[in-house]
Amino acid sequence: MSRMAQRVASFGTTIFAEINRLARQHGAINLGQGAPDFDAPSPVLEAAIRAICSQLNQYAPNIGLPEAREAIARHAERFYGQRVAPDHVLITAGATEAMFAAILGLSDPGDEIIVFQPVYDSYVPNMRMAGVLPRYVNLYPPDWTFDPDELAAAFTPRTKAIIINTPHNPTGKCYARHELEIIAELCLRHNVIAITDEVYEHITYDGVQHVRLATLDGMADRTLTISSLGKTFSATGWKVGWAIGAPELVESVNRAHQFITYSVATPLQAAAATALNLPDSYFESLRAEFQRKRDWLLEMLRSAGFQPLAPQGSYFIMVDWRGVAPEYVRNDVQFAEWLIREVGVACIPPSAFYRAEDKHLAAHFARFAVCKRDETLQAAAERLAAMRVSGD
């Protein structure tokens, strides 16, 4: 008899691990995982070293280091005019723990939470572990818009919350203000809270502005805003995240967080304060640098014969690969395997972001990551160009 609990038995191992393994095995250029292959800015690295050498090595307060919570509150006001007291900021082990603690702290078994599909891969397993039922609302290509009627129909008397990830992984969609207004109106009408995942908040393209749902009328008290350091400061391995919002929401999340991790790496929280206090010029140059890389990768994918759907934000570009791969390649997983083996470039099959019965919706898509050094992108460009020549 299996010793594995029912709670986790259906999870399997993630496609991300499998793609990384295959990429290593075939020496492929990895444009799969959303982790930069360049380092965090040196003032942030130096702040962490200073903190370690300044005896900041014991448990931080459970809610987080005061200077980090103050920096998070200041950052929210600086970029979004969102006013939160530092006491209403909870520091977590990345956005991932913030989301799990939010689901555990804000919903009961049998409750429902609405998610948009494609859906970031940790939310639904989090819900399953909490005994919560997901309700899916689709985002439709090419613009990844949702049907307001489908969304309205997803609200039931059991709906506790809705999760919005913007900028969105894997599509790069940035929810427009008018879309967020539709969501806000439904939350108010059904007395539902919103949990947002804004880890790509500073990576937007073509002048698109990231809109924070919590700043819309009536939403301050019913939105839990989650974000983290990883993507904005190229430090995904640090796993420093946060949840901010109304006192009752944050207190509920902390009831779970205190018994999951209790508190987060102290010196990295000190460095988070330095990072979040960096001048506007840091955030501007990050955006410009990503715009340049995104434009370049878009162009190289187009020249290789893909049809990319230009993202408005995030680390990713979704492409339609039909016309690039041979006929025997039937779906996104086969395509990703083919690309690694035959071309030497790794991407992620986005069916990983769909439930079993909807995986066909992703069958002709692939997700490529922009967050790579120029040398990595150049190497990928050469392999993709060679594929085009040999395919002609």
Ligand X SMILES: Cc1ncc(COP(=O)(O)O)c(C=O)c1O
Give me the residues that bind ligand X (CB under 6 A), please.
34, 94-96, 120, 165, 169, 197, 199, 228, 230, 236, 239, 241
Distance in angstroms (rounded) separating the CA atoms of residues 241 and 302: 35
Taking the least distance from each CB to ligand X, the nearer of 36 and 241 is 241
The residue whose Cβ lies closest to ligand X is: 94
Distance in angstroms (rounded) separating the CA atoms of residues 243 and 347: 30
Taking the least distance from each CB to ligand X, the nearer of 32 and 344 is 32
Greatest pairwise CA separation for the chain in angstroms: 62
- Answer yes or no: are the C-beta atoms of 272 and 75 closer than 8 Å: no
To ligand X, the closest distance from the beta carbon of 161 in angstroms equals: 16
To ligand X, the closest distance from the beta carbon of 228 in angstroms equals: 3
Token couple for 362:
């992703």
To ligand X, the closest distance from the beta carbon of 227 in angstroms equals: 8
To ligand X, the closest distance from the beta carbon of 208 in angstroms equals: 17
Distance in angstroms (rounded) separating the CA atoms of residues 78 and 83: 9
To ligand X, the closest distance from the beta carbon of 93 in angstroms equals: 7
Residue 93: alpha-carbon gap to chain centroid: 14
Taking the least distance from each CB to ligand X, the nearer of 233 and 321 is 233
Give me the numbers of helices (H) and strands (E) for the chain, helices first please: 13, 12
Taking the least distance from each CB to ligand X, the nearer of 169 and 263 is 169
Taking the least distance from each CB to ligand X, the nearer of 226 and 343 is 226
Q: Where are the alpha helices (DSSP H) in 32-93?
A: 42-52, 66-80
Taking the least distance from each CB to ligand X, the nearer of 120 and 306 is 120
To ligand X, the closest distance from the beta carbon of 16 in angstroms equals: 9
Q: Of 283, 311, 307, 256, whose CA–CA distance to 143 is shortest?
A: 311
DSSP-based three-state secondary structure for 322: coil
